[in-house]
Structure 1
Amino acid sequence: MTGAPLLLVEDTPSLQLVYESVLASAGHDVHSADDAESGLAAFKALRPPVVLLDLVLPDRDGLDLMQDFLAIKPDTQVIVITANGSINKAVAAMRAGAHEFLVKPFDEQRFLSAIDNALSVVRAPSRKSGRDDRPPPDFIGQSATMRALYRKIRSVSRSMATVFITGESGTGKEICAQAVHDFSNRAEGPFVPLNCGAIPSELLDSEVFGHVKGSFTGAISDKPGAAAAADGGTLFLDDICELDLNLQTKLLRFLQTSTIQPVGAARSRKVNVRIICATSRDPLQEVRRGRFREDLYYRLHVVPIHMPPLRERGDDVVAIAEAALTRFSHEEDKGFRTLDSEVKALFRKLPWPGNVRQLLNVMRHVVVLNDGQAVTKNMLPIELHHQLERRDAEPVERLAPHVTLEGLVGRSLAEIERMVIEETIARHGGSVPKAARVLDVAPSTLYRKIEAWKNGD
């Protein structure tokens, strides 16, 4: 319990009575108001640590009232309540500083869990201000873009809001998710990552929600699943747009009820999990194409964080390369200390389609195959020189023979397919995953075709 009572602002008398009864039974002291005017007056008098706020009030918009609460007492944890048709408004409230939102109808346990989560934030030791733009652990770089990202990570970590991380492959989305977890009041709990794109679709249900022994062929024992393993902590769903539509329905139900039901289980159980998800696709485009549920998108896309590509981070590329050089040289017992000026200039110019992951692979390659004090241009993989040449080449001249109908007529469909695939990969700096997104196929499809061409099939 905290010293001050909770404040409930709800204009429907029957719901107000129900909420008061549930809260009182759980041992909470609660003060109620039935409109914005009386709610604001009560807030000024009580300075409550937690407010339960219906967004639809008779005399004023609930979102505006919440802004007044936070202006008076910024550390107030506001839980907004909304109807199913107004999730967009609840998402706007989360982005404006609400702690969490509940969609009517919700069950008693979900209601009380939200209160307990908000109170745990109140009781937690104060953390760094959202203005702190120092790099979190595992981040390197002081570009303006990254400093803004660091501030956002620290800011959103204090909320229960679902974080949706976007960015190209290799930009560090999982590192970002880990940082949000580490700065949150759940830092002592588990951080459970699950790559939705790396698990066969027929096993995803079991991987996320678990299964009981004998529920399907191969289920030789009970398995808790990622959602249960993350109880009390954070569940990170990477490649969220790869989720099967049927599993998306289950995930939506999980977000609404905080309950899971393992495959083959007769009963469901409650878990207390914060969701962070990530994708390298455009999630809204996936919604438009019918591959991602719109209601799930709005439920997950509460606080968006975009990881910038390496080519937009200026001198960060040199800082990351030199930090990796130091680490790999120590691991491999080599004598490298720095990059020479020509390599630094080249790194700033390269498009880096594989982003930080590609840069780390390049530095590992250099250290393993070479030695010296400074990395020189001749030590770099030949693929980097090719990328720079493609970047500097004029795309129109390079593609002209292939984009005309005359250039395609007379060729077989297989030849045309190969031309299009190879040219798309070249346009995207040799990145097969990027080309796959443009061509709207799975990367594995392109890898199989490339392997077949190499073997002469």
Structure 2
Amino acid sequence: MKVLIVEDALPLATVYGHQLSRAGLESVHVETGSDAMSRLRKGGISVVLLDLQLPDMSGMDVLASIREERLPVTVVVVTSSGSIKTAVDAMQAGAYDFIVKPVAEERLVTTTRNALERETLTEVVEEVRKPAQGKVQHGFVGSSLPMTAVYKMIESVARSNASVFITGESGTGKEVCAEAIHRSSPRAKKPFVPLNCAAIPKDLIESEIFGHIKGAFTGATSDRDGAAARADGGTLFLDEICELELNLQAKLLRFLQSGTIQKVGSDSLKKVDARIVCATNRDPLEEVEAGRFREDLYYRLHVLPIGLPPLRARGTDVLELARHFLSQFSGEEGKDFKEFSVEAEEALLAHSWPGNVREMQNTIRNLVVLNEGPIVGSDMLTTLQGRVPAAPRSEGAPVARLEANVRETEGAAAPVGSGNWPALTLPLGQSFDTLERKIIEATIDACGGSLPKTARVLEVSPSTLYRKKEIWAEQDGEPDNADEIPSESA
């Protein structure tokens, strides 16, 4: 795997090349953005060290071209500006990381190696379109495209010993993800030790992580191992890592660099082999910019990032999760719930789920405990806040028509009377996929945006429509909004 150095200053490029060569990394050098694109199109490059100030174009333009052409490389931006905003702009444009001139040799080599290791995740991108196998994977329920990517990421990073940084909103399953990485790794038979940094008093957190000896502080009546020592040979999961105070961040960084811990009150060091997986519901780069999180610790931890999608972005996973929890809690509570009504499913899809999967669990358990089955009606979903009510079924609603009447569909919205759908003219000479998309989208509009109603009219499964919308959104290069319903996103 080669590193491409894109730098117009020959002395700097020469220094970078020598430093990488001493670290056993092979590199090639070009001076302009156009030469960089030409070299990348030939293949064989894994990582690009990209200067933002080039003689023929901006480094941001090169980033845009790499992204547009979907070239399989990881980009590290080299900038003379220490502005975090510049780095954020570059990373939003597709860069993996950034380094600031003048670049220390250790920083250059470490960042480049991290980028090369990240290339082991390339297979995730190649396989992301493959459907998920089975309904429960790595402790998660759901087969949407975003979750399929997460499953592939877990399988890929599990083989490595590098640090993993999990981000996501509260309730998205960060600890589930961390434990899945551990179970899939060669360390699976060793301990998995989770520690929530936000749940422990600040004056005790150092002892909880590194341990203490007898008499180290009031109440320390005996020697005690910390989470790091208990995770020896296994995985240490530090949840809400951004809650750590700066002085403790420095001690954690020393542990990551040396692999040794020092108990509170002790003068001796102990070697510990624990893989670090951490998580936060904050934006770590914003925490670095605000001075609340050490930049050097961020780079030590942010080697293999995994972002967990919020539930509202997971499409029909909402219904898969709801059915899973309905079956689970019905069994636990001795109830006979079997399924959701159409109106209840629409209400579930219409809710924004700010509490994500944790909110879903509480909602389903609440309705199971307080109601009787076998069908869950929308009136049972009393805990949802700000949900969109299911639209009333009209006795005079028309059936779908395309320039002429189509046969009435059993199960559609009571098609009686003489009402007509808006006419839709489809010129010939277009592909079947294009015609199919126009018909489906026009029917969705005529149904007020309700995909379940559209599915009943077209006599297809709702999941078929959701997956088609996911595919179209990806083709258009737009965010996946396949789960939207008017007034509020699912």
Shorter-chain TM band:
0.5 to 0.7
The residue that corresponds to 2:369 in the other structure is 368
The answer to whether structure 1 residue 95 and structure 2 residue 96 are counterparts is no
Q: Does 1:294 align with 2:295?
A: yes
TM-score w.r.t. the length of structure 1 is: 0.61
Match of 1:313 in 2: 314
Q: Which residue of the partner structure matches residue 165 of structure 1?
A: 166
State the distance in 2 between where 1:130 and 1:228 align.
37
**Distance apart, 1:62 and its partner CA:** 3.4
1:276 match: secondary structure: strand
Whether the aligned pair in 2 keeps the contact of 1:55 and 1:63 (CA below 8 Å) is no
Query: In the superposition, relative to structure 1, how do residues 302 and 59 fare at CA in structure 2: closer, same or farther (>3 Å)?
Result: closer
Aligned equivalents of 2:199 and 2:321: distance in 1?
27
The one-letter code matched in structure 1 to 2:120 is G
For 1:60 and 1:247, how far apart are their aligned partners in 2? 34
Aligned to 2:220: 219
1:240 corresponds to which letter in structure 2? Answer: I
Shift of 1:265: 1.1
Q: Match of 1:384?
A: 384
| C-alpha separation in 2, matches of 1:163 and 1:238 | 12
Indicate the structure with greater helix content: 1
Match of 2:200 in 1: 199
Contact 1:162 1:303 in 2 (8 A): yes
Whether contact under 8 Å (2:192, 2:234) holds in the other structure is: yes
Report what 1:41 is aligned to: none
Give the aligned residue type for 2:386: H
Deviating 4+ runs (over 4 angstroms)? 58-61, 67-70, 129-133
RMSD (Å) for aligned C-alpha atoms: 2.9
- CA distance in structure 1 between the partners assigned to 2:385 and 2:378 by the alignment: 9
1:56 equivalent in structure 2: 20
Match of 1:190 in 2: 191
Cα shift at 1:130: 7.8
Mapped partners of 2:225, 2:127: distance in 1: 36
The secondary structure found in structure 2 opposite 1:202 is coil
Task: Assess if the C-alpha contact under 8 Å between 1:169 and 1:280 holds in 2.
Answer: yes
Structure-1 separation of matches of 2:353 and 2:211: 38
Residues 210-265 of structure 1: per-residue CA shift (max 9 Å, x gap): 00111000111111000000000000000000011111000100000100001011
Aligned-residue sequence identity (percent) comes to 52
How much does 1:371 deviate? 1.2
Give the distance between the partners of 2:189 and 2:24, measured in 1 at CA: 40
Alignment check: 8 A CA contact 2:21 2:27 kept? no
Q: Given the superposition, is the C-alpha separation of residues 294 and 342 from structure 1 closer, same or farther in structure 2, using an over 3 Å criterion?
A: same
Paired position in structure 2 for 1:325: 326
Measure how far apart 1:385 and its partner are: 4.7
For 1:369, give the aligned amino acid. L
Give 1:266 deviation, angstroms. Answer: 1.7
Aligned mates of 2:19, 2:346 — CA distance in 1? 54
Distance in 1, matches of 2:271 and 2:142, equals: 40
Q: Which runs of 5+ in 2 are unaligned?
A: 1-17, 29-42, 47-103, 390-487
Give the CA deviation at 1:60.
8.8
Alignment partners' CA distance in 2, 1:373 and 1:364: 15
1:143 correspondence with 2:107:
no
How much does 1:388 deviate?
4.0
CA shift digits 1:81-128 (9 cap, x unpaired) = x94332322321221239xxxxxxxxxxxxxxxxxxxxxxxxxxxxxx
Cα distance in 2 between the residues matched to 1:348 and 1:387: 9
1:352 equivalent in structure 2:
353
In the alignment, the residues of structure 2 paired with residue 379 and residue 91 of structure 1 have an alpha-carbon distance, to the nearest angstrom, of: 50
Deviations 1:134-190 (A, max 9, x none): 452321111111111111110110011111000000000000111111111001111
Q: 1:262 to 1:239 in 2, by over 3 A?
A: same
Q: Distance in 2 between matches of 1:322 and 1:60?
A: 52
Structure 2 residue 263 is the aligned partner of structure 1 residue 262: yes
Distance 1:238 1:323, change over 3 A: same
After superposition, the Cα gap between the structure-2 partners of 1:388 and 1:245, relative to the gap in structure 1 and judged at 3 Å, is farther
Distance in 1 (CA, whole Å) between partners of 2:185 and 2:258 is: 22
Partner of 1:113: none
- Report the TM-score when normalising by structure 2: 0.57
Q: Following superposition of structure 1 onto structure 2, how do residues 401-420 of structure 1 map, counting pairs within 5 Å?
A: none
Name the CA shift for 1:55/1:178 in 2 (closer, same or farther; >3 Å). farther
- Structure 1 CA distance for aligned equivalents of residues 289 and 23 of structure 2: 37
Q: Structure 1 residues 257 and 58, CA, compared in 2 at 3 Å: closer, same or farther?
A: closer
Aligned to 1:175: 176
